[in-house]
């Protein structure tokens, strides 16, 4: 079944381009059920014709896209929102409003398709599991784009220089933050194995002794979904072993 999409942008050319791109999307397919040039028109459209997704610009005359997204959340069955804007700096605020995704103009077909797939996953899950994942996630900002990474997908967090490597089964991300802050906030999900690393509690498979020619005898942790072994300090050994029992 195709996603029913409302396009909201004050520029007719931008709406036309999105309509064309949506016509080329196949997995899932998208059906444009309406267009609006401002927030008032958008609310009128949604009341007349319910939709699954609103592709929403931010800077519009009158009520802006952020305010409209906040109003949409008060609906009984709110549509998902994907922001489409030329301004990358509003990404954090957008995800605070539980936006499904955040696209910067000019939008590429591949990136739009990814956003539709994310919306489809949220719909298929009935929002229950995914809402929890959205509530506990990291906002990654890399190379001019923003992406939410659910903490349930993270295998480990490793401090390197001024940044944190966020490792999932598929790839590595770079996160700008402090490891100690993440440890305090997400202690229920991660356990410290070393002064520079946290690992997902549910990913711990074994704690194994190893011998390093330089450092001598020590311990490493084996993690589900990752071949890399991380060193375990003696100070953290008991806590890591306890994670195996959980």
% of the chain residues with pLDDT over 70: 92
179: confidence class by pLDDT, cuts 50, 70, 90: very high
More confident of the two residues 62 and 137? 62
What's the pLDDT score for residue 12?
96
Confidence check: pLDDT of 125 > 70: no
Q: Out of 56-65, 137-146, 168-177, 196-205, which region has the weakest mean confidence (pLDDT)?
A: 137-146
133: confidence class by pLDDT, cuts 50, 70, 90: very low
Strand partners, 219: 209, 232
What's the pLDDT score for residue 243?
81
107: confidence class by pLDDT, cuts 50, 70, 90: very high
Q: Are 85 and 57 in contact (CB under 8 A)?
A: yes
231: confidence class by pLDDT, cuts 50, 70, 90: very high
How far is Cα 184 from Cα 84, in angstroms, rounded to an integer? Answer: 34
In the chain, where the domains are located:
3-135, 150-245
Give mean pLDDT, residues 192-200: 95
Closest among 187, 170, 178, 177 to 140, alpha carbons compared: 177
230: confidence class by pLDDT, cuts 50, 70, 90: very high
How far is Cα 61 from Cα 10, in angstroms, rounded to an integer? Answer: 7
pTM: 0.56
Confidence check: pLDDT of 63 > 50: yes
More confident of the two residues 214 and 137? 137
Residue 172's Cβ-count burial label (10 Å; 0-12, 13-18, 19+) is exposed
Parallel, antiparallel or unpaired: strands 197-200 and 204-212: unpaired
The answer to whether domain 150-245 has CATH 3.20.20.70 is no
The CATH number that domain 3-135 falls under is 3.40.50.2300
Q: Are 3 and 53 in contact (CB under 8 A)?
A: yes
217: confidence class by pLDDT, cuts 50, 70, 90: confident
Confidence check: pLDDT of 50 > 80: yes
What's the pLDDT score for residue 37?
95
How far is Cα 84 from Cα 14, in angstroms, rounded to an integer? Answer: 10
Average pLDDT, the chain: 88
Residue 10's Cβ-count burial label (10 Å; 0-12, 13-18, 19+) is middle
Tell me the pLDDT tens digit for each residue of 84-97. 998 888 787 777 78
What's the pLDDT score for residue 10?
96
Closest among 179, 157, 182 to 168, alpha carbons compared: 157
112: which residues sit within 8 A by CB, 6+ positions away? 18, 21, 22, 25, 103
């Amino acid at each position: 079944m195709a996603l029913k999409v409302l396009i909201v942008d004050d520029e007719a050319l931008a709406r036309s381009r999105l309509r064309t791109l949506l016509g080329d999307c196949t997995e899932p397919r998208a059906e444009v059920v309406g267009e609006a040039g401002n927030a008032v028109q958008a609310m009128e459209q949604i009341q007349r014709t319910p939709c699954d997704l609103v592709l929403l610009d931010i800077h519009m005359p009158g009520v802006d896209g952020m305010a409209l997204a906040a109003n949409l959340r008060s609906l009984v069955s709110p549509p998902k929102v994907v922001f489409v804007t030329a301004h990358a700096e509003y990404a954090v605020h957008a995800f605070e409003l539980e936006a499904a995704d955040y696209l910067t103009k000019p939008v590429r077909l591949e990136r739009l398709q990814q956003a539709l797939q994310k919306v489809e996953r949220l719909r298929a899950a009935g929002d229950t599991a995914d809402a929890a994942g959205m509530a506990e996630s990291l906002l990654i900002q890399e190379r001019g784009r923003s992406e939410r990474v659910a903490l349930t997908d993270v295998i480990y967090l490793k401090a390197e220089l001024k940044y944190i490597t966020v490792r999932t089964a598929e790839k590595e991300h770079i996160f700008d933050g402090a490891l100690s802050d993440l440890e305090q906030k997400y202690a229920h999900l991660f356990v410290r194995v070393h002064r520079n690393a946290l690992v997902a509690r549910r990913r711990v498979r074994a704690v194994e002794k190893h011998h390093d020619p330089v450092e001598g005898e020590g311990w490493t942790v084996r993690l589900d979904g990752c071949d890399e072994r991380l060193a375990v300090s003696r100070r953290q050994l008991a806590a890591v072993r306890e994670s195996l029992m959980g």
